[in-house]
Structure 1
Amino acid sequence: WKTYVREADQVDEELVDGWNKSMDVILIFAALFSAISTAFVIESYKNLKQEPTDVSSQTLLIISHTLMLIANGSQPGSISADSESETPPFQASSKAICVNVLWFLSLSLSVAVSLISMLAKEWCLEYMANRTGTAEAQARRRQQRWDGLEKWRMKELIMMLPSLIHLSLLLFAIGLCVFLWDVHYGVAIPVVFVTAFAASAYFVCTFVPFFYDYCPYGTVLSRLAKQFMVVRLHPSSANVIQDEVTGNALNWMIANCETPRSIDIALQSLAAADEKFPIQVLEKHHAWVMIKQRLEYGGTTDTSEHHKKATQLFKRALEVYPATRRRIDMLNYGYAHPDREVADALGREEQVMLGIQATIQSLGVSHFSNVNPKDVVTIQLLRQCANIGQYHLSRSDHRVLEGINAQNLFKALVRPSDLMEQLVQKLEQYLKNEVTFDSDVYCNFSASLAFLLCCNTAGSITAEAANVKYVLSLVHSFSKGSNKTTSNLLRESILLNLVLGLPWLLGCYTTPEKCGEDTSLMKALECLWPVLLAAAYPDTSATERHDITYLTHGMLSLLANPNKYSLSSEDCKAIQTVLDQAVRHRGLPTKIQSIYHAHYIHSLTQNIMSADDTDALAPQVLSAVNNLRVYSPWDDYYVLPSIDIYIFVVKHLCMAKDSSSADSYHAYWILGSSPIPKCSPQLVQALSSSDLITHLVNAIDSDDRDTRLFATAQLWVFIQMSICEADRTSPALSLLETELLKYPKLEGNMERQEAVAEELEDKLPADIDEGSLYINRYTCRVLEVMFQRRSTPLPRLVHSRLNIFDTPKRLHGIDSFVNYETERSVAYPDLVFDSEGRPSCNTSSEEQRA
């Protein structure tokens, strides 16, 4: 009984509240209408009786005729009788009678409806009164009133009240038309037209609901008639049909609900969607992008059961997304491969591909609302970009449906090779400030280019060199028009960082120790998707998540492969401009992880070794090493070059024609931030193969003072390397001594090396004042070692200059001498290196930290 009372109260309150509101409207309208119609009736009823002025006029006319007859000597009696017989009796016109009948009837109906409405409000009050006592008593009393309400047709009576008001209004309108037509048809025609239109609309609204279910239009008569004609359906929660109605209902919740919890429930319900579910309407509001956004940034620290269940539903909704697009894309998503791992990989690829495509469409231009209709090229490009993911998925034989050549269809829609060129061209023009278009268009083009590069690389549609060429084109455009891209538009900045970071993503630098072609695409795409989400939802949290990791690594990966990518010096300058504008000038952190730093050093070493002309590669290599010095994993700008890089830098300084050039500046800073090498087999072998001692001997007699100063310091380093070698029988020392004998001052006798070293020690302090600021950091470090060897206090000038350069502690004095072959394990304690110097993560150290 309590349940009955609770449910009955809810139903009755809703029903009576609706009746009261309806009758309030009726009473207000009836009062206003009665006042208006009364004013018209007051004037119209006069036409039903003779006017007193007409009687007076007739009497005066008779008196006038009588007086005229008397004046003419006629008999007034007969004339007066004749005049009276000629005057017709008063009779109201048919139009006047018609108008008054209509208006008085309209007024009567209005007053009658007002009376019945007031009585009905009392009935409603009586129906809702006396709801006290036990639940059983309340239920019985309420049921008796409900039975009486249905027996006496109270609902139908109240429902008829608005129709009586409508009838009253119609009668008044017809009467008004007749009244005005009798006055002047020119005035009456507009009123007749409006009345006819309103009456027609009313009748249409009455009959249309009988032909179309759920028609929003209707009248009291149609609703009353449908109550007797339609059988009421009882709602059922079983086997909900996944049709357009269901999709529209969920779309309404997503678009209109202001409570985030309600939107989350609507999104979670998509976990039960199947391939029959109509997804187009939900894709317009980017439902699946919102799901991914909640998964990516939705409270990762929340460990409650509710959060875990919601996360599972969101993941399930993303998993079923490809199945819902099966009929639209005409592709066999969810192919049941016999191998479970392969099937899971195919499903994951479909989920990520279609999710990224949906995210790109959510960037604001999926309906071309922000595009000039006359810009046919841009509209065509946007249409091509809308099918990149489907085209890539259609290239797999597993997804081809029998009888449908979806691959050729999507290839014709996308035209991947042409699309790449056109996107790069458009973005170049925008970055150079040559053209302007909406920010949404720029974001869509940037995201589509990144997606297309990933897909084309995986599908071998474009070679890696071509992809790098495209990125370099954008790098040059950025460097030439960077004022535009330094705006505060967060979405543009995020997507620019992503596009310029593609060389790193596509080169599989995310995990250098695991570079596999099969996994590189998915790794790149899984990095790509969150960045696109940050651009799609550029709120405060996106600002906090936004960094320059991709851009930094993208540029460094290019610099670390100058020979592989055929970089020119101009390319390196443009890359340097990008790094300066996007990172250093904005005060952003420049530290990178040690695994990446060591990998870039290794890549650069391999490029030097594979180059045919290393001298021509000098500007590119020096720029790369100098940037690796700036973007090192340490706070003191320390850099540990490989032996090949070290020899390369020293040889360049010996042969440099201009010691004040940018290349020399980079080389001096590299040596100033690097440790001094000890004797090792690999170092001595590189020293011998490069004939470096001969180049130093030639440089020590150079006309350039900086070159002379550097050659003096470097020769002392190599001689001191020989003197300090502990193992006097090692082959490396023998080879080093053979090379040092090329220095004429030794006169072919290694016993003179102590004396030659002292000569160089005396010469270096005397020349240091003449050297430029660039070389002073390195030469001052060498001088510090000399004075430590002598156990002599460091001169104030040298000490002050070392402080000016903020030289780190590990680069001071004798401690800065290290063995380059073993120092890697000290500088990178979390890494291990193979025989070729390739780094990988140290699993044992990771387990210890865990």
Structure 2
Amino acid sequence: MPLYMLIRPSKKKSGTGTKGLHDYMHKHRRRTYAGSTAPQDAVPCYPVEAPQEFDVEGKELDPDAQVWKTYVREADLVDEELIDGWNKSMDVILIFAALFSAISTAFVIESYKSLKQDPVDPSSQTLLTISQTLMFIANGSQPASTPPTLEAETPVFKASAKAICVNVLWFLSLSLSVAVSLISMLAKEWCLEFMAGRTGPPGAQARRRQQRWDGLVRWRMKEVIVILPSLIHLSLLLFAIGLCVFLWDVHFGVAIPVVIVTTLAASAYFACTIVPLRYDFCPYGTVLSRFIKQFTRIRPQPSQDDPPQDEVMASALRWMIETCETPRSVDVALQSLAAAGDNLPPNTLEKCNAWGMIKRRFESIDTSEQSEQTRAASLYKRGLEAHPITRKKIDKLAYGYVNETRKLEYLVLGVQTTISSLINDIMSNTHSLDPATTAILQRCTLIGRHCLDSFVAGWGSDYTYAIEVDPEGLVEGLVTLLEQYLKGEAELEPVLYSVISASFGFVMCCNVAQRVTEQSANVGHVLRLVQAYSSGPMRPVLFFQDPITDNLILATLWLWISADYSTDLSSPTSSRYAPVETALETLWAGLMNTMYSDRSALKRLDKTRLAHGMLYLLANPNRFNLTADDSEAITTSLNMALWSPDLTFRIQNRHHTQYIQDISHNLATMANVAAFTPQICSALNILRYYAPWDDRYLLPTPEIYVFLVKYLCMSSNLNSPDTWSAHETLGYSPIPKCSPRLVEQLLMGDIISHLSNSLASDNRNQQVFARAHFGILFSMSLHEPDRSSPALNTLENALMRYPGLGNSLERQEEVAEELETELEELLTRDSDGINSYLREYVCRVLEVMLQRRCAPLPEFVSDQLKRVPDRLRGIKSLVNLETERSIVYTDVVFDSEGQLVPHSEEVRI
């Protein structure tokens, strides 16, 4: 049985702590796996961290809270690594400066002599004069005059220019290396001061350390230490230049440069002594400054019991979120925001998208596994709810006072914060944005505040957000940018495109919630994007997940608010803002998917939310005047965005049956069905793939069934995609029983005449299709249990028009058997020439007819039906299209006519 050793982080300044133990056990574990030298009875040992501890609710930001313990631990690790690096760097500087100074000194000792007169020269002149005088005396003669050497004055000594240049460079190099040594020693003292005083409650330590860190950043201590090696390099450069000049010759005036360098070093030392006396958290300092401060100033002791939620605390939390490499440390920092109040500045944390990170972690937690995860999820949820509270003073809105709007508040602000943080990153890292795009992005950062002003009470009369945002104008500007990009007329970075798309989806949801724009105008904006994507170069050739389609899905989320069948508002637990909340929650999840490739939130969502907008458009082509190309582009976008191996999409029963009912209603009221036939076929086919079940089963209404039959009878191009789609849809639909509405639709559509015409057609597919449906109609007539039904009588009268019946209903059974025989012959004789979906459907019809007569099923029919779902086989596939809906959609209520019953007292936002 393996052993698990609990390892707590060490606070040793060396930074070794448990590292050696951890490395040893890790190496030992590897050796054990390799099976090389480990004993047979060796027990593997694994170092693990202590389980996460949680604070008392509401105490997550107290002085002894877990967040501050984590802050101190992480700060110690980061600061020790930083200071240790600085100290090692300055040690190298000091050693190099010492060696270099020694070397340069040896050269300076020799070079400085060229700056003054050589004492040997006057001595030589004196000796020459003495020698000449002695010579005259020895000769016994009197010199006629004074020797020339005595008459001329001794010339004044003057150093050469090259000698001076060499000495200037070398003395400057020597002085600079000594100055760097001095500053390096001071820097080591600054590092020691930064690491000192790390005792006391974690909250107080965190504040003290954060204040010092802010001072270190503000006074650019890192830059000062980094520049020290550069000074040594400069010193070495000066020495090399001087060496070159030395080999050339000499010049004068060395004292002034040396004095200047010395003065600068002295000034730096003096400044490092004086400045800390004025600024408490200045990272510079000397021994003298600390000595003076100790006797001249009494530091006020900050309260350690209740640290204020101010900018220092927000900066500390942001530092943890951005700097800590340990995921648990970041988790603790984010979880502490559960106790955030209205005094905590939100802007600092919003810059690092803290609440977006909370949302991502909240969605990724599986609360069914561990109590620890449940507690973490609770903290994240409270952190999201606390976000509006922190913005109360900035936005001047009464966040949190009305329970009904609390979820709406944090969803709007959460989406806005995520978008704003991305916009800030783009604007700070991109310098090529044109002024118009920059203005649009700046307006996008105000969408959330403008939206909440309609739902949350505020104060102040000088609010100008509505004027700055201009929702309708902003939508037009965003659509224009996206349209140009999708058509290939403008270039946008992928991140910028995703941000603009998310902003478009966000402002559309807010506009619909506020009832700023009409549905027709909103659909027009969406169709502009769909058409631009369909006709532009951005449409991929291969079928794979595409970020563009992911963003197009987000552009239709507003339809969840405007379409009236999403939420039961009569429920006591339902809020009138529920559709808006659902749309925004889905938008946030989609935004995290497109921007961070985080699909955890999408996996937890009801997938109907994502697909609803596009399915609603597909189900109502006549209402929005969709062209066949529009429907094809919407279908492609939907499939590419939703089909993924790690996501399973199943539409809710209520929505699925509502889409079917919408199509049925449109067929009944449409003036020109032929103009929208391809669109309806496409919608029906895609509804099979997103049905609430796995077998692609579709239960049509009588109107839809008759529409498909009539279209296949009248279609001139039997190889068109629409014809194949219609055959496929009919092939996965049940075979209808006799019912009043069905018979009525058969007569209204003159189906008997169309089928009769198809019997005489030259096309084999139409011949087979007509015989199969006549077989269905005769079986429907022969096996209707209620022989006195008016619908049956109407059907029988219509069947009298069948050419082979001979105006005698007694021949129905004989005619049905003839149709069986003809269908079997056609399938066996020309099977390859028949549409595969039609062939499968005809085999289903044959199976029903043969089961009615208790006749054996031919082998080729049985083989053809192997892949057909069980509920579409034989007599089990016979259903009443008017009553079957209540059986298939068990959790949906229908009226006596099979129509969907709307939610009671449903109210549109």
**Is 1:812 matched up with 2:873?**
yes
The aligned runs of 1:724-763 (5 Å cut-off) are 724-743=783-802, 745-746=804-805, 748-763=807-822
The aligned runs of 1:64-79 (5 Å cut-off) are 64-67=132-135, 73-74=141-142
Q: How many residues align?
A: 735
CA distance in 2, matches of 1:613, 1:516: 40
SS of residue matched to 1:564: helix
- 2:526 paired residue number: 471
The TM-score with structure 2 as length reference comes to: 0.70
Q: Are the equivalent residues in 2 in contact too, given 1:371–1:378 (CA < 8 A)?
A: no
CA distance in 2, matches of 1:373, 1:725: 74
SS of residue matched to 2:478: helix
Q: Are the equivalent residues in 1 in contact too, given 2:567–2:579 (CA < 8 A)?
A: no
The aligned runs of 1:434-583 (5 Å cut-off) are 434-481=489-536, 494-499=550-555, 503=559, 507=563, 511=567, 518-538=577-597, 552-582=611-641
Q: Are the equivalent residues in 1 in contact too, given 2:367–2:377 (CA < 8 A)?
A: no
**Is 1:320 matched up with 2:386?**
yes
- 1:332 paired residue number: 397
- 2:274 paired residue number: 207
Q: Are the equivalent residues in 2 in contact too, given 1:788–1:814 (CA < 8 A)?
A: yes
Q: Are the equivalent residues in 1 in contact too, given 2:360–2:601 (CA < 8 A)?
A: no
- 1:122 paired residue number: none
Q: Are the equivalent residues in 1 in contact too, given 2:487–2:538 (CA < 8 A)?
A: no
CA distance in 2, matches of 1:685, 1:375: 63
Correspondent of 1:361 among 412, 415, 420: 420
- 2:355 paired residue number: 288
SS of residue matched to 1:822: coil
Correspondent of 1:785 among 848, 851, 870: 848
SS of residue matched to 1:474: helix
Q: Rate the CA distance shift 1:484–1:668 in 2: closer, same or farther, 3 A.
A: closer
Q: Rate the CA distance shift 1:672–1:491 in 2: closer, same or farther, 3 A.
A: closer
CA distance in 1, matches of 2:605, 2:575: 28
SS of residue matched to 1:368: helix
CA-CA distance at 1:590 after TM superposition: 6.0
Q: Rate the CA distance shift 1:264–1:216 in 2: closer, same or farther, 3 A.
A: same
1:709 aligned partner, one-letter code: V
- 2:129 paired residue number: 61
The aligned runs of 1:332-731 (5 Å cut-off) are 332-334=397-399, 336=401, 343-363=402-422, 365-366=424-425, 368-396=427-455, 398-404=456-462, 406=463, 409-481=464-536, 494-499=550-555, 503=559, 507=563, 511=567, 518-538=577-597, 552-582=611-641, 591-731=650-790
CA distance in 1, matches of 2:102, 2:292: 29
Q: Rate the CA distance shift 1:840–1:53 in 2: closer, same or farther, 3 A.
A: farther
CA distance in 1, matches of 2:689, 2:305: 65
CA distance in 1, matches of 2:639, 2:358: 36
- 2:291 paired residue number: 224
CA-CA distance at 1:79 after TM superposition: 7.8
CA distance in 2, matches of 1:358, 1:469: 28
CA-CA distance at 1:235 after TM superposition: 4.2
SS of residue matched to 2:754: helix
**Is 1:775 matched up with 2:838?**
yes
CA distance in 2, matches of 1:189, 1:440: 58
Q: Rate the CA distance shift 1:219–1:423 in 2: closer, same or farther, 3 A.
A: same
2:457 aligned partner, one-letter code: R
Correspondent of 1:833 among 884, 894, 899: 894
Q: Rate the CA distance shift 1:72–1:673 in 2: closer, same or farther, 3 A.
A: farther
The more displaced of 184-193 and 806-815 is: 184-193
CA distance in 2, matches of 1:435, 1:214: 50
CA-CA distance at 1:332 after TM superposition: 1.8
Correspondent of 1:822 among 851, 864, 883: 883
CA-CA distance at 1:521 after TM superposition: 0.8
SS of residue matched to 1:820: coil
1:781 aligned partner, one-letter code: R
In terms of Rg, which structure is larger? 1
Q: Are the equivalent residues in 2 in contact too, given 1:490–1:543 (CA < 8 A)?
A: no
CA-CA distance at 1:455 after TM superposition: 0.7
CA-CA distance at 1:758 after TM superposition: 4.4
Q: Rate the CA distance shift 1:670–1:247 in 2: closer, same or farther, 3 A.
A: closer
Q: Are the equivalent residues in 1 in contact too, given 2:505–2:558 (CA < 8 A)?
A: yes
1:411 aligned partner, one-letter code: A
Q: Once the two structures are aligned, what percentage of the paired residues are identical?
A: 42
Deviation string 1:291-326 (CA, Å, 9 cap, x unpaired) is: 222222245345436x55544443333333223223
Q: Are the equivalent residues in 1 in contact too, given 2:530–2:552 (CA < 8 A)?
A: no
Q: Are the equivalent residues in 2 in contact too, given 1:494–1:546 (CA < 8 A)?
A: no
CA-CA distance at 1:822 after TM superposition: 3.2
CA distance in 2, matches of 1:826, 1:663: 30
Q: Are the equivalent residues in 2 in contact too, given 1:427–1:442 (CA < 8 A)?
A: yes
Q: Are the equivalent residues in 2 in contact too, given 1:619–1:663 (CA < 8 A)?
A: yes
Structure with more of its chain in helix, by fraction: 1
CA distance in 1, matches of 2:861, 2:703: 30
CA distance in 1, matches of 2:667, 2:568: 19
Correspondent of 1:255 among 322, 333, 336: 322
Higher relative contact order (CA 8 A, sep 6+): 2
Q: Are the equivalent residues in 1 in contact too, given 2:756–2:770 (CA < 8 A)?
A: yes
CA-CA distance at 1:717 after TM superposition: 1.7
CA distance in 2, matches of 1:704, 1:564: 35
Q: Are the equivalent residues in 2 in contact too, given 1:506–1:521 (CA < 8 A)?
A: no
CA-CA distance at 1:705 after TM superposition: 4.2
The more displaced of 35-44 and 490-499 is: 35-44
SS of residue matched to 1:234: coil
2:469 aligned partner, one-letter code: V
Q: Rate the CA distance shift 1:25–1:438 in 2: closer, same or farther, 3 A.
A: closer
CA-CA distance at 1:488 after TM superposition: 8.8
CA-CA distance at 1:645 after TM superposition: 1.0
Q: Are the equivalent residues in 1 in contact too, given 2:549–2:638 (CA < 8 A)?
A: no
Deviation string 1:55-109 (CA, Å, 9 cap, x unpaired) is: 3442233213443576692179x989x979x999x9xxxxxxxx9xxx9xx99xx
Provide structure 1 residue ranges, at least 5 long, that are not aligned to the other structure.
1-6, 91-98, 118-168, 170-175, 337-342, 843-850
1:772 aligned partner, one-letter code: I
The TM-score with structure 1 as length reference comes to: 0.74
- 1:233 paired residue number: 300
CA distance in 2, matches of 1:464, 1:448: 18
